[in-house]
A and B are shown apart, each in its own frame.
Chain A
Amino acid sequence: MINNYVLVLAGLAAGPVIGGLVSGADRIITARVQSRIGPPLFQPFYDVAKLLGKEAVVVNVWQAFCAYAYLAAAAISVVLFFLQSDLLLIFFTQAVGALFLVGGALTSTSPYSQIGAHRELLQILSYEPLIMFVIIGMYLETHSFKVSDILQWQEPLLLKLPFLFVALGYGLTIKLRKSPFDLSTCHHAHQELVKGLTTDYSGPFLALTEIGHWFEVVFFLCLSALFWATSWVGMAILLVVTYLLEIIVDNVSARLTWRWMLGYVWAMGLALALVNLIWLYAAR
Chain B
Amino acid sequence: MLYRSSIAAIALTAALCMAMPDAQAFDDGQYPDLKGQWRRIAPPGQPAFDPSKPRGRGQQVPLTPEYQAVFEANLADLAAGGEGLWPGYRCRPPGMPPMMTAYEPLEIIVLPETTYILIDHIHDSHRRIYTDGRDWPEEAEPAFAGYSIGKWVDQDGDGRYDVLEVETRHIKGPRAYDAMGAPLHKDNKTVVNERIYLDQTDPNILHDEITVIDNALTRPWTVTKSYRRDPNPRPVWAEYICAENNTHVHIRNESYFLSGDDYLMPAKKDQPPPDLRYFNPSRK
A in complex with B:
no
Point out residues on B near A: beta carbons under 8 Å.
Answer: none
